[in-house]
């Protein structure tokens, strides 16, 4: 038993090391006083200052936040409505068919999705007589909503299946109109799935590079595209500073979400035991 526990501990330590050692190195070298990305010359916030003085990086950060916030909210609203409609389908064949079509953006390689969306946007732009600036922030938003939708649906559907189907009917029997019953009874019950879908959509939007690369214009570059452009030049620790900020923002969001979830779960347990 001791050998097995030691082997399991060693295996866990090795996995954690390979997962988080690169991130730890990145964070440490983001505070490097020198220009080197491999030799530590002292601690300094110099590269964080350089990062925020870079106008191209700030513009790409603003574009990333705008696209991530708008696309995640829109995809969450649309995904929740779509998941509710799928759940209420009486035909299993129709439900499975729609789910299969919905899951195509998830299973399809990103490079194929990005290239197909780019061709679609160019075709629609030419058909509408738009000759310049065919690709930009609107096409970027549409593309992000497209590949985020399936993830939201897959997060909301299990919560709908876990919800007592009699709650909706009981609310209507008590005089609540169907739409109001949905917002008062069903929506609070599936809120954890909605929040999970929102968080996943936001992180996928911030992280996406391939699809964004194909559908963005010269004035709508996102952070991943900006980082890729920075790697083509002389790599400096300001890239580490930028990546560290992104990592910390996502980490704080996950901690907040886990904290909210852990506060809600004891309440549900108490309610069940009453």
- Per residue in 149-183, pLDDT (tens digit) is 999 998 898 888 888 777 877 877 777 787 888 88
Pick the closest to residue 205 from 254, 158, 258, 146 (CA basis): 146
Find out whether 111 and 210 touch, Cβ atoms under 8 Å: yes
Q: Please tell me which residue, 269 or 205, carries the higher pLDDT value.
A: 205
DSSP code, position 164? -
pLDDT in tens, 197-222: 898 898 889 888 899 999 988 888 88
Find out whether 270 and 81 touch, Cβ atoms under 8 Å: no
**Where do the domains of the chain lie?**
31-273
Alpha helix (H) ranges present in the chain? 2-29, 46-52, 55-87, 92-102, 104-107, 110-127, 137-162, 165-173, 178-181, 187-189, 191-207, 210-215, 223-231, 238-273
Kindly report the number of other CB atoms within 10 A of residue 235's CB atom.
Answer: 12
pLDDT computed for residue 272 by the predictor: 46
Please determine, looking at this structure, whether the domain spanning 31-273 carries the CATH number 1.10.3720.10. Answer: yes
Find out whether 79 and 156 touch, Cβ atoms under 8 Å: yes
Residue 122 scores a pLDDT above 80? yes
- Length reported for the chain: 274
Find out whether 159 and 193 touch, Cβ atoms under 8 Å: yes
Q: Is 223 helix (H, G, I), strand (E, B) or coil?
A: helix
pLDDT computed for residue 32 by the predictor: 84
Structure tokens at 225: 């595209």
Find out whether 247 and 23 touch, Cβ atoms under 8 Å: yes
Structure tokens at 71: 């696309």
Residue 47 scores a pLDDT above 80? yes
């Amino acid at each position: 038993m001791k050998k097995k526990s030691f082997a399991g501990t060693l295996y866990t330590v090795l996995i954690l090391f390979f997962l988080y050692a690169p991130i730890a190195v990145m964070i440490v070298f983001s505070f490097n006083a020198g220009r080197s990305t491999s030799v530590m010359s002292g601690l300094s916030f110099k590269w964080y200052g350089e990062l925020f003085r870079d106008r191209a990086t700030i513009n790409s950060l603003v574009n990333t936040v705008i696209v991530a916030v708008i696309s995640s909210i829109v995809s969450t609203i649309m995904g929740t409505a779509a998941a509710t409609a799928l759940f209420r389908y009486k035909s299993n064949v129709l439900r499975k068919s729609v789910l299969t079509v919905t899951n195509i953006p998830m299973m399809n390689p990103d490079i194929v999705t990005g290239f197909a969306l780019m061709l679609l946007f160019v075709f629609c732009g030419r058909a509408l007589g738009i000759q310049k600036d065919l690709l930009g922030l609107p096409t970027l938003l549409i593309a992000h909503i497209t590949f985020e939708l399936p993830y939201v649906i897959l997060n909301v559907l299990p919560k709908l299946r876990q919800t007592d189907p009699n709650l909706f009917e009981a609310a209507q029997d008590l005089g609540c109109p169907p739409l109001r019953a949905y917002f008062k009874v069903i929506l609070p019950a599936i809120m954890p799935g909605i929040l999970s879908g929102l968080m996943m959509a936001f992180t996928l939007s911030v992280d996406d590079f391939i699809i964004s690369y194909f559908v963005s214009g010269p004035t709508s570059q996102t952070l991943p595209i900006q980082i890729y452009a920075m790697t083509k030049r002389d790599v400096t620790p300001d890239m580490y500073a930028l990546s560290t900020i992104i990592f910390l923002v996502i980490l704080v969001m996950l901690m907040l979400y886990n904290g909210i979830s852990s506060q809600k779960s004891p309440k549900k347990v108490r309610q069940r035991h009453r």
